[in-house]
Structure 1
Amino acid sequence: MTDILIIEDNEELGKLVYDFLKREGYTVEWRQNAEEGLTFMKNEICKLLLLDVMLPGIDGYAALQEIRRTGKLPVLMMSARTDDQSKILGLQVGADDYIEKPFSIQVLGLKIKALMRRSYDMTEGRQLLTYGNITVDLATRTVYKDDNKIDITGKEYDLLEYMMHNPNQIIRKEKLFDEVWGKDCFSEVGSLNVHIRWLREKLEDDPKNPKLIQTIWRVGYKFGGAEV
């Protein structure tokens, strides 16, 4: 999981922000256009997005509209446009906050901390895992799809949490079974397939054509990696 993804085409500013956030202890990725940023987000989980408005190709507004079709992650827009209409448009298409260029790097850092705190309840020690429109609250073992609570408990929850901690990885059935049920469990590995089917029925838009939990033939399963 990446803490912060930066999409900024200005090399000098992008490097400045990237280096600052690394020093602050975040895991950071930086892409210089929206196309590469969107591709990254389809294959990796990130907790917050710093998004420039004026980008080559797809601009920040269009990129954010695409992100908001499936993603709930907090987005802080960066822009040299200081007029009210530009700010309003950014918030209307789904930005959580807006910072004007040129900005103080310290102010940016404070805005990021505040947005992280609001989004993930850091002051309460709340820990969330998010992938696409699926969110898991680790503290309460609660699962949400599109902000709606889903009834997932027991081994179903344990399976989902383990896979969300290991997104975009092919996990062998035997490995997945041992991690969730335990190596000394007397249950059959076949029960794993049943629980996967139940998870798909609750999480997938089309359980018969799963995109979130994919079957890797003769090997096991992969969580994520397809367009969700």
Structure 2
Amino acid sequence: MNNHILYIEDDEEVGQLVKQNLLDCGYKMTWLKSGNQFDQYLNEVEMVILDIMLPGLDGFTVGQRIKEKNNSIPILILTARTAIEDKLKGLEFADDYLTKPFHPQELVIRVDILLRRFDKIAMNTVSIEHLKIDLKANQIYNSETNQEIMLTEKQYKIFHYLLRNANQILTKEQIYSSVWDQPYIEGDKTISVHIRYLRQKIEKNPQEPKIIQTIRGLGYRVKL
């Protein structure tokens, strides 16, 4: 399975229980005890489990910021807050809401359902235009010729990041931060150059790209 889950919970006892339960079920876990550094992990994880009552930023704020940065990551709120107003507020951005105390098996089932819904387990291949992308094997084929398209490491990382965030407009800042793990410097042409060469490999007509769209003044998007 090996799906990577970001777990944000400050309660040591509950945190240890949840972490061990999910590790035993084959998930990879990163556990944070506050939401202050959540953005460092968003490009690595397939799901977030989030408490509401946290030190510093509360879970409502953290969850909203996660969805603003990447709304393709499912969020499950796991909290002792049972009031209907809390549930309604949480479900404005979260994809599921489970209250404490809870049965460990119910948590696992809910996690699995969310991951399947967001195609993180079931979808190993993506088809777009004339391309067939095997996400598990990190391979891209031209489905018309059945020829593999060879990309450089950076080209693949850029394309994979756009695919993971399909239908979203991604800025140069977001792409650069994800692929190079460094802050973007205004005016840097690195992203533009890499995407130009990437289009030459994957587009039928790089001058009129249909796979990687340029959204003028904003960034780039792959639309599925």
1:127 aligns with 2:124: yes
Maintained 8 Å contact 1:2/1:29: no
Instruction: Name the SS for the 1:98 alignment partner.
Output: strand
Percent identity over the alignment is: 28
What pairs with 1:103-182 in structure 2 (closer than 5 Å)? 103-120=102-119, 122=121, 125-127=122-124, 138=135, 160-161=155-156, 164=160, 168=179
Aligned to 2:187: none
Aligned to 1:53: 52
1:22 aligns with 2:23: yes
For residue 38 of structure 1, report the CA deviation from its aligned partner. Answer: 2.8
Provide TM-score, normalisation by structure 2.
Answer: 0.60
Cα RMSD (Å): 4.0
Unmatched tracts of structure 1, length 5 or more: 130-135, 142-153, 171-190, 213-228
Aligned residues: 168
Q: Deviations over 1:113-134 (max 9, x none)?
A: 1111111174xx41279xxxxx
Maintained 8 Å contact 1:155/1:195: no
Provide TM-score, normalisation by structure 1.
Answer: 0.59
For residue 194 of structure 1, report the CA deviation from its aligned partner. Answer: 3.9
Measured in 2, the distance between the counterparts of 1:128 and 1:37 equals 28
Counterparts in 2 of 1:169 and 1:53: CA distance versus 1, 3 Å: same
Measured in 2, the distance between the counterparts of 1:206 and 1:110 equals 42
Instruction: Name the SS for the 1:102 alignment partner.
Output: coil
Instruction: Name the SS for the 1:34 alignment partner.
Output: coil
Maintained 8 Å contact 2:155/2:195: no
Aligned to 2:174: none
Measured in 2, the distance between the counterparts of 1:8 and 1:34 equals 9
Maintained 8 Å contact 1:2/1:46: yes
For residue 205 of structure 1, report the CA deviation from its aligned partner. Answer: 6.3
Aligned to 1:145: none
Aligned to 1:77: 77
Maintained 8 Å contact 1:38/1:63: no
For residue 70 of structure 1, report the CA deviation from its aligned partner. Answer: 2.0
Which amino acid in the other structure matches residue 69 of structure 1? Answer: E
Which amino acid in the other structure matches residue 106 of structure 2? Answer: V
Measured in 1, the distance between the counterparts of 2:64 and 2:157 equals 30
Unmatched tracts of structure 2, length 5 or more: 127-132, 141-148, 162-177, 182-192, 203-208
Maintained 8 Å contact 2:46/2:120: no
For residue 20 of structure 1, report the CA deviation from its aligned partner. Answer: 1.1
Counterparts in 2 of 1:2 and 1:114: CA distance versus 1, 3 Å: closer
Measured in 2, the distance between the counterparts of 1:105 and 1:27 equals 16
Counterparts in 2 of 1:203 and 1:29: CA distance versus 1, 3 Å: farther
For residue 68 of structure 1, report the CA deviation from its aligned partner. Answer: 1.3
For residue 159 of structure 1, report the CA deviation from its aligned partner. Answer: 6.6
Higher RCO, 1 vs 2 (CA within 8 Å, ≥6 residues apart): 1
Measured in 2, the distance between the counterparts of 1:169 and 1:126 equals 26
Aligned to 1:8: 9
Aligned to 2:168: none
